[in-house]
Structure 1
Amino acid sequence: GYIPTLHGLGGHSSMEATYPSRALIPTAIDPCLGVSTFLSCYIRLLIREARRTEAIWNHLEGCQLLLNQMCEHLWGVELDGFAFWIARCGILAALAPLTRRVQTLLDHSNAPSHLGQGPIIPGAQQRPFRSSVRLPRLHLFRNDTLQLTVPEGNTPDIVWERECLVRLRNPTRLRFDFIVTNPPYMIRKTGTFSAPDPEVYDWRILGASSLSGGGKVAAPTGTKGKVGRGSR
């Protein structure tokens, strides 16, 4: 099926014309993330295409922008704690080639990193006075998509997560170009699922209002016939 990739930058040689205003990738959410099979594969496809795009792969600004947007534009929600942990590890592993590329370009340029203030990416030896790549926080949440429970508390991490989930609960504030319709793992595991929060969902359209104009519902290979009969 169709997999959205980098918005065409082939042939661009002027960095001023390309960065920093342009969005390189569409927004997407996997509301039943599982072990991140879809998002991890998608990240690897994006990086593979970036390697073939000179305006991105050979320029620090392009690689930094792509890495930032992967962390900001790709969202995932998973209820099962163990699956969520595996998903986060899988996504970090999928991002590793791009983070290494940013580190290489950063070392060559001796420029400060413009990425977020997340954890230092492991793997590279630390040298004195070396700028280390830090990821922006991943938009991954251990939560029930049908409830999207907003956490309470005042720590910086909880405040950030609460702000994200409040946006996610309101389709007028946050919409996606693609929503993955993979059947949730917990249904197969337990045979049950939560009643949708009526403040978030209309049962008849269940999340479709979160699509942006022209957005698509994406059914991974093998699931379309099971969950998408009669839908377009």
Structure 2
Amino acid sequence: MSLNIQDLHATLENGTEILKGVTLEIPAGEIHAIMGPNGSGKSTLSKVIAGHEGYIPTSGSITLDGVDISDLSIDERSRQGIFLAFQYPNEVPGVSNANFIRAALQARLPKGEEIDAVAYYKNLYAQMDLLEMDRKFTARAVNEGFSGGEKKRNEILQMIMLDPRYCILDETDSGLDIDALKIVAKGVNSMRSADRGMLLITHYQRLLDYIKPDYVHVMSEGRIVRSGGPELALELEKDGYEFLKEAATA
């Protein structure tokens, strides 16, 4: 059981190649982190996995628990168990948080089956308490007028409620102060499971102080160029990406 990416190439709509042969396997039960300089392709990788229409795979494959999802739509990939937490979550005016999450859950049920409203709100409130979110947020429009930290907590709330098999977090730590980071990390850690894989995309080692990865990968110029254990993140924090420049001039 794994999210398996093999020799993945992808371009922007204008034909610019961003991913140049990414190979990565994330088994269920493991947390992998990807780090790398700006423009290395980290966020593009997350969007291609999720099926974003602005990023076009040109070769390679993405399989989920042995099933090729490369040609599936965003919605179909979500139903298969993929969740992407955005670096910059969008606002959805006019749609309350509670109704948004409930509609997403309802869409996953067999035709004719309805969500148990009492059980739904009991779970929703429990997860909001975990994330230290005021329950008034259930009635507020999705992310509208939210602070950066509130938006990120709301993303984690959606992730917990949807209970995906593979979670991709694209720079979820971006813009968070230390208190908000700890709360977000607590929510992510609550989802650690032998049946769930996670991919963390981050610039900074500090996130990995709170969410301990099993493996760390370095991405540069559209490829994964180095992999290691959690100690690799500490090395990058100390020495930066100088080794990439040295490799390019060697």
The TM-score by the shorter chain falls in which range? Answer: 0.3 to 0.5
Provide the TM-score with structure 1 as the length reference: 0.33
Q: Which has the higher contact order (CA 8 A, sep 6+)?
A: 2
Task: Identify the structure with the greater strand proportion.
Answer: 2
Provide the TM-score with structure 2 as the length reference: 0.31
